[in-house]
Amino acid sequence: MSENSNFPGWHGTTIVGVRKGGKVVIAGDGQVSLGNTVIKGSARKVRRISPGGHDVVCGFAGSTADAFTLLDRLEAKLEAAPGQLARASVELAKDWRTDKYLKNLEAMLIVTDGKDLFIITGAGDVLEPENDIAAVGSGGNFALAAARALMETDKDAEAIARRALEIAAEICVFTNGNMIVESIDA
């Protein structure tokens, strides 16, 4: 979020994606805050979409309405290019960066089809994270650090994602422990 933004002070969430042992897991908390007030504690910010019969798991941080707009656009891109998450993600990022309406949206996405794991940003970036971990949102850096440390343990992808989100919730006031977790086979 830029300092010059007219964004009303909504704090999204924490989303973490982990790939390990043949699975990719995306987990997100449920808190939506406006300033220092918790507006909702049980928002669902991790979703499974199946355009063209190909499952994709998506998690979003930022403005909920903006994220739903982006998810709709991603789903349309995937319907046009079934099974091609990388292509659909790049097309969405290009639109997001150049479209006058879309470029004002305040959200970030983590998406996976089990094979690829990407972070999509409003700056036109499609990032494939290192170390098989992606994290965005208010507590994203806390979840990322925790997940990186946990990758060296014998925990599976889901256990790592859950514990990383729990740790982020202990540190970040804009993150709670109400988790939604979706997994997909690699």
Return the active site residues: 13
Q: Are 179 and 162 in contact, with CB atoms under 8 Å apart?
A: yes
Q: What are the structure tokens assigned to 103, written together?
A: 């470029």
Quickly count: other Cβ atoms within 10 Å of residue 22's Cβ. 10
Q: Can you tell me the distance from the alpha carbon of 81 to that of 56, in angstroms, rounded to the nearest whole number?
A: 13
Write the DSSP string, 54-107: --EEEEEEE-HHHHHHHHHHHHHHHHHSTT-HHHHHHHHHHHHHH-TTGGG--E
